[in-house]
Structure 1
Amino acid sequence: MLAGRRTPACAALAVVLALALAACTGGDPVPAPDGSPTPTVDPGPSPEDVVATVVIPESGVEVEVGVHPVVRAGEYAVLTLDLTALTESPTGDRVHVYGFDGALGQNLPLRRPSNVRLVDLERDLIYHPGVGADDWPVVAPSDWHHVSDPGGSRVLIPYPAPAPDVTSLSVFLPGAPLLADVPVIDGEVPSSVRPEQQAQEPAADPSASGTATPSPAPEPQSLAFDEIVEARTFPLDSTSAELAGAVTTTESVERVDVQLGADVLFDFDQATLTPAASEALGLVAARVSEREAGTVSIVGHTDDQGDDAYNRDLSLRRAQAVADALSGLVDPSSYPMTAEGRGEAEPFVANDSEENRARNRRVAVTLTSTVVTRTDITTTGELPPFGEKGQVADAGSVVSIAGNMRSWEVAATARRVHGHVVVDLTVHGADDAVGAGWVLGALRGFNTHRGKGSWTPLDVAGNAVVLQGASRLFPMDYTTGPLPNYPAGEWLSVSDLNGASRIDGGQTRTYSYVFPRMDVGTVTFQVGNGLGADEFRFVDLAVAPDDAD
C-alpha cells in the first residue's frame, strides 16, 4: 500500500490504490475437481492500471495526476502518468505543467519532467529520468505538458531499471505527498495515448447530411530508448548533527564521515582529550562499528589563527589523540587507524567569524565500508532556541504567514516510510492572488551542512530540518558530482527541486521532505532559523507508522 498521512487526501489515495488492486484480481474462485472453490492468485496491477491519484496546482488550475505502476523495459523502467485539468485556465490559455521542472542545475539539466524522480528508500537510491544528447529528458509524447485537452494528456518517463529483486519504489511527484511503494512490474509499456482518447465518441459533422465523423485521436508515440545517452541513479546521503552540533555524521550505503568539533574534544591550543570528549567519541565508535571492517582515516583541521606550520602540527597531534582513543573503543585489528594533520589548509567554511572558525576547528573520521547494522541517533538535550520573528506551532495547527505581497497558511504532518521520517508540508494560498510570481521564500535554498566548495541550486526547497532534542537531521541529499568552481560538488535534496512553483489564491501545494531513519514517535519540523517572518517550527508532530509495519 501507499504509505500515507492521516488526512482525508491520503486516505483517498489509499482507497484509490485499494480499488485499483482489487480490480486486478482473478475474479470468482475456480472450482476444484471435488466442487470446492480453489482460491485464485491476485496477479497484481497491470501497466494500464492507475494505482494512485493525486491533485496538484499547475498554472492556476487543479491538475489530476493518475500514477501507473513502474514497468520494466530492458535496461530501463518506465513510469506512466495521466494528467487531467480539472478546471479551465483563468486566463483561457493552455495549461502548462511547470512544476515538473527542477531548479537550474549544472551537472544535471533539470528540465521537465526531471523533478519527477523514483526513490528506493530501502536501499537509499534515487533515480533521474533518462536524457538525450540535447540534455532534455527523453519522454513520450512530446507535447505531454499541455493538458488543456478535455481528454488530458499522458507522459511516459524512462529511468534506469532497478535491481531484479525490487518490487516497489516511491515516486517523488512535485506538488503531492511522496507516494510510497508504487509497484514495479513486468509487462508492456503503456501506449502514449490514453485509452479514453483512443475510443473518443464521434463528433457531429457540421455538414447538412448530419452524419457523424470520428474525432481524430492523438497519434501514439513510442519512447525512443535508443536516444537516451544518460540515465543515472545516485546514492543518498543522510546527515545528522548530535550533541548540540558537536558531532555531525554523514552516511551513505558505502561511507560514513563524522566531523567532531575540536572545541568539545580539546581545550584551547591543546591536544589532550578532555573528559567531555568521551560521549562524542562513543558516538563515533558506534558509527564505525555499524560498518564492515576497514581502515579509518582521521584528519585534524584548525582555523586560520596562528602559524601554518604550528597549526599542521597541532592538527596532527589532535588526530592522533582521537585515533588512540578510538582504538580502545573498537577492534583496531578490524578498524586500523591512520592519522593526518592538515592545519588550516582545508576550511569547512570561510574563516570570517568566530562561529565559523569554531566549525573549522574539527577532526574528521572517515570509513569507506558498507553498512552492517544501524544505531539510532541520540535524542537527548533541549530544543535549540528559535528566532523571535519565526512562529512556533503545535501539531495539528495552521501557521498563518502574511507577507508584503502574499498570504499563506502552512501545516505539517509526519510519517515513516521504510524507516525514514517523511514530513509533508502543505502551503495554501490564503489570498485571492492569481498569476503572482511571489512564493514562500523560506522554503527555497539549502542548509549549510555541506560546507565550503559545495553548491546547490537556489530554488531547491531544502531549507528545512527535523529536530529531536538537541539533535538536528537534514533532508536526505545526493551529489551529482564536482563542478569546476565547487570541488565539493553539486548537491540536490530529496525534496521539491522547484520551490518557486506557482500557488494561486485558494490552491494548496504539498512539499515532501525525506529525512534519515529515526525510530521516534514525534519530531519537530523547522523551516529557517526564526530570523524571518515567513519561517516556522512545528513541535511534537506524531510520526505515523509505515503501512508495511
Structure 2
Amino acid sequence: MAAVLAACADDGGSVTDASAVPSGSASGGATASANSDPVVLKSVWMGEALTTRVGPAVVKGDHTVVRVVVSTDAEGAVDLYGMFGPHTAAATLNAVRLLSLIQGFALREVTRGGGNESVEPGGSVELFPVFGRLPDGVASVDVFLPNVGVALGVPVMDAGAAAFDVEAALADAEIDESIKSGPFDLNSVVVADDGSSDTEKDEASTTVNVSGDVLFATDSADLSGEADGVLGSVVEQLELYPSGGQLAITGHTDDVNTDEHNQDLSERRAKAVLDRLGELADLSGWEVSVSGKGESEPRVANDSDENRQLNRRVEIVLTPTDPGEASTATSDVSALGSSGEMPEPKGPVGRGPDGVAIEVDGVPARISLDSVTRIGDYLTGTIKIVAERDASVSISYFGVPTSMYSLREWGTYQSTGFSLLKGGSRYLLADFTDGEGVNRPLTNFWRNRLEANVAQSLPVVWPDTGEDTITVDAPGGKSLGRPVLAVRLTDIPVVEA
C-alpha cells in the first residue's frame, strides 16, 4: 500500500492533496510544512489506516515537546502498543527521534511512557514525545516516527502560539532525567562492498579503516600491489582539505602470535601506510601521528577467522583544520569513495516504484520504495512491505549480515540492512552516537510478524549520494545463524524537499 502524501490546512486536521502543496512532498508519506500547520502522514498499523499529525514542536525550559495526534476511521479501537517504542520498551515513545536533517543532528526521546494508548473508532489520541532543548534559532525540525514515516519541516514555535497546553504536557510526562537527549551529530558510514575499507564522517573528522589483508601479505609490513587502489580513497579525502589538519594512522592486528610480535607488526604497518601516503599526497599541511595498538583494540571478538580478518586493519583519522572546505569542493558524503563496479545482486531485482516480489518465511510478499526526498545532506523515504498471508519474521531478517557487525552497534528487531549502492560503495543508514556511547541508527523497530495484505512501513534516512536516482540493496547473508533479506530496488527517483 503506497503512502498517501498530504498537508494539514489547519490545526483541526483537514487534509489537502499533496500535489497542491508548493513546498514539495517528502517520500514516505509526509509533506514538508510551509507554515505553522502540522505535517500529516498516512500509514497502516495492525491492519487499520491511521492519520498522524505532527507538530508543532515547542521549546520550554530544558525540553522540547512535540504534539503528535493519531486518528483513525477504523470500526474498532487501534492499539498503538509497540508502534513508537523499541521492542524492549514497547509501551513508550523512545524510538521517536527529533532531527534537523538540514543541520545534521538528532535528539533522543526522554520519557518512560506515552506509547501504550488506543485510538477509539472515529477518534484520536494526543501523544507528546519529549526531547532535550533544541539549539537556539532552529525554525523547523524533522520527526522520525517508526512504523509511520519521517515528518519533514515540522514548525518550531513559542508555547504561547501552540494550540495545546505545553506546561501540562510536560507536567504529565514521565521524564527520565538519566537519558542524555543530545543534540548529537548525525554520522555517515560508507563501506567498500569488497570489504577492503569503510569510511565514517562526522562534523569534525573522517575515519577510514583499511583492511590489513588487502594492504599486506600475512605477517608482513610490505605493501601489496592492491594497496594503492585502497589508499586512493584516503588521498581523495586528504585533497578535500587544502588547509590540512591532524592525521592519525594506527595499526591493529588480531590475536594470533604474541603481544610483542603483534605490537611491533602493527607499528611497522602504520609506518608503511604513512610512507606511501606521503608519496601519493602532499602531507605538508598535516600534523601526523603514527602508532600501533597490536591486538589490544579489536573491533570484534577474536573468536573466528572472519572476525580476526576484521580486526586486522589500519585506521586513518583525518581531523581537518577547516572541515567546511570539503563542502565547497563537493558533497561531503558523496565524496566518500564511490569508485568500482556495483556488486552483483544476491536476490531479486526490480524498480523500486514498481515493487519487487520477495518471500518472507516462505510467504510471497512485495517490497517497494516510490521515491526519496533530498533534504540537507540526507535522503529520506519509507520502504513498504506487503505479504500475501500472515508471515513470521525472524528478529534479524531486515538487519545487517554478520560481516557488517563490526561497523556499528547493531541491534535486533531493526531494519538496518537497507543500504544505498553507488559504484562499489555501500552507504549505510544514517545514525548517531548517544551520550552513553551507544550507536543509534535511524531505523524502524518492528514486530516479528507481517499481517496479510497490510503494508509494513520502514522509514529510512541515508546520507545523500548526490544522484538523481538511487539503488537500494539488502545484501543477504546470515545474522545470528538466520538468513537476512536479499533484494535490490533500482531507479528510485530523488525529489527535492
Does TM-score exceed 0.5, indicating one fold? yes
Match of 2:207 among 239, 243, 257: 257
- For 2:362 and 2:226, locate their aligned partners in 1 and report how far apart those are by CA, in whole Å: 49
* Secondary structure, counterpart of 1:250 in structure 2: strand
Partner of 2:232, secondary structure, is helix
Q: Is the 8 A contact 1:99 1:501 kept in 2?
A: no
Q: CA offsets per residue over residues 402-450 of structure 1, 9 Å max, x none? A: 445754321123422323233531012323x4xx865796214677545
Match of residue 181 from structure 2: 232
Question: Secondary structure at the residue paired with 1:472?
Answer: strand
Q: Does structure 1 residue 177 correspond to structure 2 residue 177?
A: no
In structure 2, C-alpha distance between the alignment counterparts of 1:346 and 1:19, rounded to whole Å: 55
Equivalent residue for 1:267, pick from 201, 214, 217: 217
Judged with a 3 Å threshold, the aligned counterparts in structure 2 of structure 1 residues 12 and 183 are, in CA distance, closer, same or farther, namely: closer
Name 1:190's counterpart in structure 2. Answer: 163
- Cα offset, 1:376, TM superposition: 1.5
2:29 aligns with: none
Summarize the Cα distance change of 1:260–1:530 in structure 2 as closer, same or farther, 3 Å threshold. closer
Aligned to 2:93: 113
- Cα deviations by residue, 1:283-310 (Å, 9 ceiling, x for unpaired): 2133345467543221111233334322
Deviation at 1:239, TM superposition (A): 0.6
Q: Which position in structure 2 is the counterpart of 1:514?
A: 461
Q: CA deviation at 1:314?
A: 1.6
2:309 maps to 1:309: no
- Find the aligned partners of 1:444 and 1:271 in 2 and give their Cα distance: 36
Q: Contact 2:79–2:116 (CA<8 Å) still a contact in 1? A: no
Select 2:446's aligned residue among 475, 480, 499.
Answer: 499
CA distance in 2, matches of 1:404, 1:227: 39
Say which of 226, 233, 236 aligns to 1:286.
236
Moved over 6 A (4+): 11-14, 17-22, 531-534
Q: Tell me how far apart the structure 2 counterparts of residues 304 and 8 of structure 1 sit (CA, whole Å).
A: 50
For the Cα contact (< 8 Å) 1:408–1:429, is it kept in 2? yes
The CA distance in 2 between the partners of 1:325 and 1:17, in whole Å, is 55
From the superposition, tell whether residues 241 and 404 of structure 1 become closer, same or farther in structure 2 (CA, over 3 Å). closer
Residue 251 of structure 1 deviates from its aligned partner by 1.6
Q: What is aligned with 1:424? A: 382
Matched, 1:166 2:138: yes
Counterparts of 1:66-215 in structure 2 under 5 Å?
A: 66-89=53-76, 95-104=79-88, 111-131=91-111, 136-137=112-113, 145-148=117-120, 150-188=122-160, 189-191=162-164
1:339 alignment partner in structure 2: 290
Aligned pairs (5 A) from 1:211-222:
221-222=168-169
Match for 2:397 among 417, 426, 442? 442
Q: Give the letter for the 1:513 counterpart.
A: V
Among 5, 14, 35, the residue aligned to 1:10: 5
Q: Would you tell me which structure has more strand in proportion to its own residues?
A: 2
| CA distance in 2: counterparts of 1:516 and 1:122, whole angstroms | 12
Matched, 1:62 2:49: yes
What code does the residue aligned with 2:47 have?
Answer: G
* 1:162/1:56 CA distance change after superposition, 3 Å: same
- Distance in structure 1 (CA, Å) of the matches to 2:400 and 2:219: 36
Q: Secondary structure at the match of 1:461?
A: coil
2: CA distance between counterparts of 1:231 and 1:302?
34
Tell me which amino acid in the other structure corresponds to 1:420: Y
- How far residue 542 of structure 1 moved from its aligned partner, in angstroms, is 2.9
Matched position secondary structure for 2:79:
coil
Equivalent in the alignment of 2:370: 413
Partner of 1:464: 418
Q: Which has the larger radius of gyration?
A: 1
Aligned mates of 1:62, 1:307 — CA distance in 2: 61
1:164-210 deviation per Cα after TM superposition (whole angstroms, max 9, x unaligned): 232222211122232222222334343269xxxxxxxxxxxxxxxxx
After TM superposition, give the deviation of residue 116 of structure 1 in Å.
1.9
Percent of matched pairs sharing the same residue? 25
SS in 1 for 2:128: strand
Q: TM-score, normalised by structure 1?
A: 0.74
Query: 1:270 Cα deviation (Å)?
Result: 2.7
**Alpha-carbon distance in structure 2 between the residues aligned to 1:16 and 1:371:** 41
Q: Deviations over 1:254-304 (max 9, x none)?
A: 232110112322334332334432232232133345467543221111233
Q: 1:19 to 1:81 in 2, by over 3 A?
A: farther
Q: Which runs of 5+ in 1 are unaligned?
A: 1-6, 23-42, 194-219, 483-488
**2:350 matched residue in structure 1:** 393
Q: Distance in 2 between matches of 1:176 and 1:270?
A: 51
Tell me how far apart the structure 1 counterparts of residues 153 and 164 of structure 2 sit (CA, whole Å).
23
Q: 1:102 to 1:365 in 2, by over 3 A?
A: same
What's the counterpart of residue 323 of structure 2? Answer: 371
Aligned residues: 464
Question: 1:517 deviation in Å?
Answer: 2.5
Q: Where in structure 2 are there 5+ consecutive unaligned residues?
A: 9-14, 24-32, 327-331
Question: Quick one: which amino acid aligns to residue 422 of structure 1?
Answer: T
Instruction: Indicate how the Cα distance of structure 1 residues 529 and 439 shifts in structure 2: closer, same or farther if over 3 A, else same.
Output: closer
Cα 1:276/1:541, change in 2 over 3 Å: same
CA contact (8 A) 1:412 1:538 kept: no
Letter in 2 for 1:57: V
Q: Is the 8 A contact 1:69 1:79 kept in 2?
A: yes
Label 1:303 to 1:44 Cα distance change in 2 as closer, same or farther (>3 A): closer
Distance in 1 of aligned mates of 2:410 and 2:279: 39
Conserved 8 A contact 2:82-2:90: no
What SS does structure 2 have at the residue aligned with 1:272?
coil
CA contact (8 A) 1:59 1:98 kept: no
Q: Deviation digits for residues 353-395 of structure 1, max 9, x if unmatched?
A: 44433322210112345732126133332232344xx322233
Distance 2:99 2:402 in 1: 21
Residues 155 and 539 of structure 1, relative CA distance in 2, 3 Å threshold: closer
